[in-house]
Amino acid sequence: MDRILQELFPSVAASKDVVPPSLDPATGVQSKDVEIASEINLSARIYLPPNADPTKKLPLLVYYHGGGFIVESAFSPLYHKHVNHLVAQANVVAVSVNYRLAPEFPLPIAFEDSWRALKWIAEGEEEWINEFADLKRVYLGGDSAGGNTAHNIAMRVGSENPEGFKLEGIFLNCPAFGGVDPIGRETAEEFKKWLDFSEKLWGFVCPSLRDRDEGWVNPGKDPKISGLGCGRVLVYVAEKDFLKDRGWYYNEVLSNCGWKGEIECVEVAGEDHVFSVFGPDTQVGIDTIKKVASFINQ
């Protein structure tokens, strides 16, 4: 499993590395770390774009990092660079949530941490959020496992209708969804190892999982999917990604379930899993981030 994990998440070897918050010379974005709940070691990194003006409130992006729920952090070099570029391009205030990881903290702990962070944001007591962010224009985003988290937190927004903010939309970058029955290319023999890995990974991060058709893993099997708590969704999939068909399936399900919002699914040719996270300053990464920025500021 370690070998396959390394193939799927090339950054795993450096996943414990962290970088401090800073004024990023490449983008002009400032960042700082905040403590949300010290008793459970829940924290986040907040980002402020250049020339932020308290008289012109900006959209707020809550970001959930990827890594299969078991590696990476909001403070890793990979995600610090990615979110810096995203914040600069989209001109948003961002909160990158450092949720706890499996197997020490199995799912649904990551979801509970992510929900608690969102409720903490809604309280409006943090200085940068209170001064610069418009809580009536909140977006959730994430890649891979973080995309799964963004979806599931939006489902909870829809069911609980919390006060203090308005969730406008979510963007999911190569979201990590699954299911018992193979779909699309998953039926091909060449993808068998990935199916085997997926089954093992879901059981590893959530030992209490009944099967991969639980709604939080497979939105297509969620009877409450039409209650997604936002009006706009952007999904990115990559041509070479094993998870590509799950992203398209999500698009199909959400388009036909009775949900009243708008969804767009974009496939990027020649790229693999979370390509824009690994290369936010490459041309394809820049183009993707510009599309996300346009989505947020539409």
List, for residues 217-247, the tens digit of each pLDDT value.
999 999 999 999 999 999 999 999 999 999 9
Q: What's the rounded Cα separation, in Å, for the pair 145 and 111?
A: 11
Angle between helices 109-122 and 145-160 (to 10 degrees): 60
Q: What is the pLDDT of residue 5?
A: 54
Cβ–Cβ under 8 Å, residues 76 and 18: yes
Separation of CA 83 from chain center: 11
For residue 218, the 8-state DSSP code is -
| Strand order across the 58-64 sheet | 30-37, 42-48, 93-98, 58-64, 133-143, 167-173, 232-238, 262-268
Per-residue pLDDT of the chain (298 residues; tens, 9 = 90+): 455 455 555 544 445 789 999 999 999 999 999 999 999 999 999 999 999 999 999 999 999 999 999 999 999 999 999 999 999 999 999 999 999 999 999 999 999 999 999 999 999 899 999 999 999 999 999 999 999 999 999 999 999 999 999 999 999 999 999 999 999 999 999 989 989 999 999 999 999 999 999 999 999 999 999 999 999 999 999 999 999 999 999 999 999 999 999 999 999 999 999 999 999 999 999 999 999 999 999 9
Q: Before 108, cis peptide (omega within 30)?
A: yes
Residue 65: active-site member: no
**Catalytic position from the list 43, 144, 198, 276:** 144
Given this model, what pLDDT does residue 14 score? 46
The verdict on whether 241 is a catalytic residue reads yes
- Residue 103's domain is classified under what CATH number? 3.40.50.1820
pLDDT at 16: 73
Catalytic one of 151, 198, 273, 276: 273
- The verdict on whether omega for the bond into residue 59 sits within 30 degrees of 0, i.e. cis, is no
Which residue segment(s) compose the domain that 92 sits in?
2-297
Q: How many folded domains does the chain comprise?
A: 1
Residue with tokens 């497979």: 218
Choose the catalytic residue: 113, 143, 222, 241: 241
pTM above 0.75, yes or no: yes
- Whether residue 273 lies in the annotated active site: yes
Q: Could you give the 3-state DSSP secondary structure of residue 298?
A: coil
Distance (Å, whole) CA 46 – CA 139: 14
